[in-house]
Every structure is written in structure tokens, then in C-alpha cells.
Chain A
Amino acid sequence: MKHFKLLFIIFAIISSIGLAQEITPTSSTSSIFVNVKGMVCDFCARGLEKGFGKRNEVENINIDMSNNLITINLKADATLDDETITELVKSNGISVEHINRQL
């Protein structure tokens, strides 16, 4: 009986580890929300699309001119730091107001 209990506990632990591995995704995507200043015309925004589109980390970006918002959708497991984002925005003649991240 004692052996059965021990075996049962070991089996339960191994099963839960296995299940945990099945449930937890091996990759995750994320979006970065960048509020900007000076994005008042399509040409301004188009430069941002081209600039971010060249980055390997970026899946795509969405431009919302009404809310002065750029949404950067990253590829799975990719990251992009604030400094790089700020530099890319600034190189297109636009200013960053703040950056928010969401998983």
C-alpha cells in the first residue's frame, strides 16, 4: 500500500509536469502601443510603416491617426526595446509621447 501511494504520487507529479508542458505555449506574441506627436499626414505615417516593416522583430504595425497611436505587433518571441522604438519614430521626424506594452 505504501509503495502504491509512493508510485501514485510520483505518477501524479510526472503527469502534472507533462500536462503543464502541453498547456504552456512555447511562444508568445505581444503588442507595443506608442503614442506620438506630429503625425498629421499620411506621408508621415507611411515612413513609420516602412521603417518598422524592415525590422525582423515586427510582424506589422497599425496606424491610428485619430488617436496619434501606432500599434507595433511583434513576431512570436520577439522583443523591441524602447530606445529602438524611439529612435525609429524620431528618424521619421515624429516624436514619441509614451510607450505602453501589453502581452
Chain B
Amino acid sequence: MRYIGLLILCLSSLADARPISYPQGWTAMQQNNPNENRLHVHYSPNAFHSIGAVIHRFTPQKQSNVYAASAQWNYLVFRRNTRHSQANMYSKFGIGLADEFTNHVFSTLSVAADWETRRWFTAYEANAFWSDSSTEFSQSARLGVAPYVAEYGALHTWLMLQVNHQPEAEDTVIFTPLVRLFKGSVLTELGIDDNGGILFNWIIRF
């Protein structure tokens, strides 16, 4: 049960460092690693909120598939714009169902912060998970650099290092170097963690 909570949290997601899109925008994003897949579709009525649905499949300890579905609300708590940077703080609240829990219900709460320029990117996220049988905590951080600064509409490339900390897991700290590419409304990420597991994420905004 505890492991499942961590799995639900671990893909919640520094990949979507911008969890709210432009006003009236739709976002579809998928995150994948060797044991889990997560699909999240959300709508942003304005630049301060997004609401969406998440479907999650994972295979804890190489056993049979577990499926979870949840609704998620993201909120922009704080933003500071300067000429060359933007800093944000978000809260993300989810409530969902998974067969694995006795009363099937779980909830998640994340607080995320990021600061970026056109050259540097930093992000941090703390996550909490509750079900009838467990309470879990995890956190993650990213540091990224753009080897070149691309103009609007061109291909943007970022080299990033992600670190995940899950105190209750067998492997408490996982490092994942990854490459992020985006052009227009499409973003993809490809990385390999220090256990050799492949990370592949994509985001499309409409």
C-alpha cells in the first residue's frame, strides 16, 4: 500500500513545470518510466487555475497492473516577473480512486516552485499522499541549462538533472539526467535514471 502511494506521487510531475496553460488552453501530457504511465489532460480557464483528469497505470514490484484515476486542480499561488526571469509557486490538489485501497479513495497535495530565465531553469516540488492505509511524502527538484538560447518559435533544448527523494522507498534517492526539447506547442523529455530506467515524457498544448 505504501509503495503504491509513492508510485502515484513520483510521476507528479516536474515535467509539467508550467501546470497551468494560457487562458482557455488545453494541455495533454504523458509521463512514462519502466514501471508507470500517467496521462493528464487539463483545461486552464485563465492563467491562475487549471482543472483536469489523470489516469495512472503502474506495476508495483513487477506484479500485476494497478490503475488509478483522479481529478486534479492546479492553482498559481504566486508569480513574480522581472525583465529576464519568472518565478512561480503552484499548489496541486488531487482526489482519486484506486482499486488497491480499501475504500478506494486517495488524495494528493503538491506544492511546486520554479524560477527560470531563458538560460537557467530550477524547480522544486514537495508531494503528500493520503489513503485509508498510508500517508506518504516525496520531493523532487530539477536544475536545467539551455546550451543555446532559442528565439520564439525555434527548437528549444534544455539539459536537465532531476533528483527524486522518496524516504519510504527502497531506493530513496534517484538521479535522472534528461534532455528536454520543445518547439511551438510540443515538448518532449528523454532521460535515463541511475538504475538504468528510461524516462519519456511529452506535453502538447492546444
Contact = CB atoms under 8 A, between A and B. Distances in A.
Nearest to B22: A47
B23 A38 contact: no
B193 interface: no
Contact of B46 (A44, A45, A91): A91
Contacts of B37: none
Interface string B146-168: 00010111001000000000000
A30 B26 CA distance: 33
Interface string A53-73: 000000000011110100000
A94 B81 contact: yes
Prevailing SS type, chain A contact patch: mixed
Contacts of B118: 40-41, 65
A63 B152 CA distance: 7
Contact of B116 (A41, A47, A91, A95): A41
Given A46-B22, A47-B23, A37 B83 contact: yes
A42 interface: yes
A25 to B, nearest CB: 32
B133 interface: no
Contact residues on A (Cβ < 8 Å of other chain), bracket? 20 to 34
B84 interface: yes
B205 interface: yes
Contacts of B205: 43, 46
Q: DSSP majority for the B interface?
A: loop
Interface in B77-110: 79-86
Contacts, number: 75
Interface string B163-206: 00000000000000000001111000000000000000000010
A45 to B, nearest CB: 5
Contact of A43 (B21, B48, B80, B82): B21
A97 interface: yes
A41 B18 contact: yes
B25 interface: yes
30 contacts: A37-B81, A38-B82, A38-B85, A38-B86, A40-B84, A40-B118, A41-B18, A42-B153, A42-B156, A42-B183, A42-B184, A43-B22, A43-B185, A43-B205, A46-B184, A47-B21, A47-B23, A50-B22, A51-B22, A63-B152, A65-B118, A66-B149, A68-B83, A68-B84, A93-B20, A93-B22, A93-B47, A93-B48, A95-B81, A97-B83
Chain A to chain B: the 5 pairs with minimum beta-carbon distance, closest first:
A47-B22, A38-B81, A93-B47, A37-B81, A95-B81
